[in-house]
C-alpha cells in the first residue's frame, strides 16, 4: 500500500497542483461566475443524514459502503474538513448535476459549517471535483424581487487517474487527502414571481482555508501532499467519466494561515509566487460593486461589509478614495449640521427676547 500511495501522489500532484492556476486559482470572472444559486423558495437546508438507513451508512446494496466513522478528523487537526457524497459526475462546463446524498463539515477557529448539498464534476478530463455547498437567503424583498445569498462552499479536487489506479490495486483508500479550498461568498440575486432566480451578481468572495500539506519524497523528488485521506467505492466506475455515479469520502487537515493561503493562490505553474503589486496577484478577498466593477475590499460597501486592509498593502494604498458621491454625502451632512445650529440659535435668541 505504501508504494501505491507514492505512485498515486506523483500523478495526482502533476494534475492538481500544476493545474491550480486553472481550477483553484481562477481569475476574477471565473470566481464570480462559478457559484450556482437555486430558487429563492427552496430554503430547505437539505438532507441531514436522516433520510434512511441506506443514506446514513452509504450502503447502496453493494459490498463497499461509506462508513461515517471513517470521516472523523485526527485529534491533532485543529482545523479540518470532511465530506461523504454519492451522486452522478457532471461536466464542469455543463449543466449542474446534484449529488443524491451529501454530508460534509468544515471546522475553523471562526466556527463550523455544515454541508447538505453538493455535486461531482469532471474538469477537462483531468481533475475530479467534489463541491459541497451551504447557503441561506437574506435581505429578501418580495416586492422588489431581490435578495442576498449568503453562500459557503468547499471544493475538493483530485486527479482523475486516482480511480483507475485504485481499481487496479483493489484499494479503497488513497492514503493522502484531496486539495481543498473553502470560501464564503455574498451574491445579489433577482427573482421572479415564482421564486426562480433570474439574475445574480457576486459582490464579495473570500477564501478562508485550504488543505494543509506535508512534504513527501518520491524517487528523489519532493512534493507537498495534502494531509488526510480519500476513500472510494469504485465498483461501478471505469475512469471517472461524466455520467458515472461516484461514492466517496474525504477528510483533510486544513490551514487558515494567511501566508499559506496567499502562497497557494499566487503560486504559478513554473513554481514562482506572485507578490502584491505583481500583475495577476490575487487577494484572499475580492469585492465588486453592484454593477460588477471590482473594488478594493477595504473600500467596499455591500453585503458582508468591508474587510480590513491587509498588512502587506502600504498605508497609502489603504486609503479609501474620495468620490463625488462621498463628497456630496459629506456636504449634505455639513448642511444638516448648519441648519440645526441655525435653528438652535434662533430658539436661543427667541427665548432671550421673551425673557
Q: Which of 188, 354, 185, 206 is nearest to 283 (CA)?
A: 206
Please indicate whether residue 137 or residue 33 has the higher confidence score (pLDDT).
Answer: 137
State pTM to two decimals.
Answer: 0.77
Count of structural domains, the chain = 2
Instruction: Please compute the mean of the pLDDT values over residues 68-81 and round it to a whole number.
Output: 96
Give every CB contact of residue 268 below 8 A, 6+ residues apart in sequence. Answer: 21, 274
- Co-location of 125 and 237 in the same domain: yes
In a domain, 303, yes or no: no
pLDDT at position 245, please?
A: 96
pLDDT over 80 (residue 50): no
- Co-location of 230 and 336 in the same domain: no
The string of DSSP codes covering 60-115 is -SSS----GGGGPPPTT-SSEEEEEEEEEEEETTS---B-SEEEEEEEETTEEEEE
In a domain, 277, yes or no: no
- Co-location of 264 and 348 in the same domain: no
- Co-location of 349 and 239 in the same domain: no
Structural contact between residues 68 and 104, judged by C-beta atoms closer than 8 angstroms? no
**What's the rounded Cα separation, in Å, for the pair 307 and 2?**
45
- Co-location of 170 and 93 in the same domain: yes
pLDDT digits (tens, 9 = 90+) for 261-292: 999 999 999 989 999 999 999 999 999 999 99
pLDDT at position 216, please?
A: 85
pLDDT at position 60, please?
A: 46
Domain span at 346:
322-355
In a domain, 298, yes or no: no
**What is the CA angle 199-201-205, rounded to 5?**
145
Q: Which of 85, 156, 92, 158 is nearest to 118 (CA)?
A: 85
- Co-location of 326 and 236 in the same domain: no
- Co-location of 330 and 261 in the same domain: no
- Co-location of 137 and 237 in the same domain: yes
Q: Which three cell numbers stand for residue 176?
A: 493522502
* Adjacent-strand bridge partners of 102: 85
In a domain, 314, yes or no: no
Q: What percent of the chain has pLDDT over 70?
A: 73
- Co-location of 25 and 153 in the same domain: yes
pLDDT over 80 (residue 320): yes
pLDDT digits (tens, 9 = 90+) for 163-220: 999 999 889 999 999 999 999 999 999 999 998 889 999 999 999 999 999 988 877 8
- Co-location of 266 and 326 in the same domain: no
- Co-location of 177 and 238 in the same domain: yes
pLDDT digits (tens, 9 = 90+) for 125-173: 999 999 999 999 999 999 999 999 999 999 999 999 999 999 998 899 9
In a domain, 158, yes or no: yes
End of a domain among 254, 271, 288?
A: 271
- Co-location of 250 and 333 in the same domain: no
Amino acid at each position: 500500500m505504501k508504494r501505491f500511495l507514492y505512485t498515486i501522489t506523483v500523478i495526482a500532484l502533476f494534475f492538481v497542483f500544476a493545474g491550480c492556476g486553472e481550477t483553484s486559482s481562477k481569475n476574477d470572472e471565473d470566481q464570480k461566475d462559478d457559484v450556482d444559486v437555486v430558487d429563492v423558495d427552496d430554503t430547505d437546508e437539505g438532507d441531514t443524514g436522516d433520510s434512511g438507513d441506506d443514506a446514513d451508512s452509504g450502503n447502496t446494496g453493494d459490498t463497499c459502503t461509506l462508513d461515517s466513522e471513517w470521516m472523523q478528523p485526527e485529534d491533532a487537526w485543529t482545523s479540518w474538513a470532511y465530506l461523504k457524497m454519492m451522486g452522478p459526475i457532471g461536466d464542469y462546463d455543463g449543466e449542474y448535476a446534484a449529488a443524491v446524498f451529501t454530508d460534509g463539515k468544515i471546522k475553523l477557529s471562526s466556527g463550523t459549517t455544515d454541508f447538505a448539498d453538493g455535486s461531482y464534476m469532471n474538469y477537462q478530463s483531468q481533475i475530479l471535483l467534489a463541491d459541497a455547498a451551504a447557503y441561506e437567503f437574506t435581505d429578501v424583498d418580495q416586492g422588489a424581487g431581490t435578495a442576498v445569498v449568503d453562500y459557503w462552499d468547499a471544493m475538493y479536487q483530485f486527479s482523475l487517474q486516482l480511480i483507475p489506479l485504485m481499481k487496479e490495486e483493489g484499494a479503497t483508500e488513497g492514503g493522502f487527502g484531496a486539495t481543498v479550498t473553502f470560501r464564503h461568498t455574498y451574491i445579489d440575486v433577482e427573482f421572479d414571481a415564482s421564486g426562480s432566480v433570474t439574475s445574480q451578481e457576486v459582490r464579495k468572495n473570500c477564501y478562508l482555508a485550504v488543505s494543509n500539506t506535508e512534504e513527501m519524497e518520491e524517487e528523489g523528488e519532493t512534493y507537498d501532499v495534502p494531509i488526510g485521506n480519500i476513500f472510494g467505492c469504485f465498483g461501478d466506475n471505469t475512469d471517472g467519466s461524466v455520467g458515472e455515479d461516484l461514492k466517496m469520502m474525504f477528510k483533510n487537515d486544513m490551514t487558515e494561515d494567511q501566508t499559506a493561503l496567499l502562497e497557494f493562490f499566487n503560486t504559478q505553474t513554473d513554481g514562482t509566487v506572485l507578490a502584491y503589486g505583481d500583475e495577476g496577484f490575487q487577494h484572499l478577498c475580492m469585492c465588486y460593486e453592484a454593477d460588477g466593477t471590482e473594488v478594493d475590499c477595504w473600500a467596499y460597501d455591500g453585503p458582508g461589509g468591508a474587510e480590513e486592509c491587509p498588512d502587506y498593502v502600504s498605508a497609502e494604498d489603504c486609503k479609501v478614495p474620495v468620490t463625488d458621491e462621498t463628497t456630496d454625502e459629506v456636504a449634505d451632512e455639513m448642511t444638516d449640521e448648519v441648519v440645526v445650529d441655525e435653528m438652535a440659535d434662533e430658539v436661543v435668541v427667541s427665548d432671550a427676547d421673551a425673557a
